[in-house]
Amino acid sequence: MLLLALLDTTRLARIDRFLPNVTPENIKIATNVVFNNTGPVPYTTSVQIPKGEFALELLNVSVKEYGGAQYDRPLYVFANGVPLFWGSTQEIANSTAVSDVTLFEKLLQGSVSFEIVLVNYYYAPAGITGVYSVNVSLLLYPGAPPAGLPNEFVPLWVNRFGYSAITLSSLSPSYTQSLELPNGTQRALALVYTEGGRVRRILVRERTRNKKHSALLQLKACRGVQPLRNGLHGRYRPLLLEA
């Protein structure tokens, strides 16, 4: 059975109403990192995150634009290639976004490689598009963690830049990946973020062969899918799939 559900993001709209009454640990991930003519090349940094139990983990992403016309640009944050934050800069004025990343608590421990991607192309003589300065921090609120957090994360369809992101097009209308599940896995979920165009089909199949469990995942685009837009509007809702 394939279960398709939308993750509830209503908590994020009222984030100030459910913050624990404790002082969080503030882990700096990026400070005033400049993105100019970077395209899809990530800013990569290794960060040491303390191990412990946390009731809530928030990722704060702040962006300041200067030096040219301002457009909304794709903005992503990955941890060890796994997507944590999937969105865009604001088209007018500076912006700050906060995302609940408690789901990834067991990923965000010890030495973690963060990949920050702000897809920008800069041509100063024409004042396009401007330069972006990005600050990212992780807020850890001590306390009992939620029950049932995943033990392990496996990035899918890792591109040549080292993070999990692909583009479906008429030339590449589908992608398939097969992977072995770790021993003892009782439940496997696929968290898929999409933007631009439409995805016609997402398949997750679980197989058992020689007492080893594996999963086959396939993304397939709609016929005539459009390329990703340069300007991105609205918020993104990840898809949660279960085999």
Low-confidence ranges of the chain (pLDDT < 50): 1-14, 199-202, 208-211, 222-243
User: Tens digits of per-residue pLDDT, 88-98?
Assistant: 887 777 888 89
Do the domain assignments include residue 151? no
Structural domain of 85 = 3-142
Which residues, in sequence order, are bridge partners of residue 169?
Answer: none
Q: CA-to-CA distance for 234 and 165, rounded, in angstroms?
A: 19
Same domain, 24 and 119: yes
Q: CA-to-CA distance for 136 and 156, rounded, in angstroms?
A: 24
Same domain, 137 and 178: no
Q: What's the structural domain count of the chain? A: 2
- pTM for this predicted structure: 0.79
The single-letter DSSP state of residue 11 is: H
Same domain, 130 and 189: no
Cα distance from N-terminal residue to C-terminal residue, the chain: 6
Do the domain assignments include residue 121? yes
Domain at 93, CATH number: 2.60.120.230
Same domain, 191 and 234: yes
Which string of DSSP letters, residue by residue, matches 83-151?
Answer: EEEEEE--SSS-EEEEEE-GGGTTTSSEEEEEEEEE----BGGGTBS-EEEEEEEEEEEESPPPTT--S
User: Tens digits of per-residue pLDDT, 140-193?
Assistant: 999 999 998 988 888 888 999 999 988 877 787 777 888 777 777 777 777 877
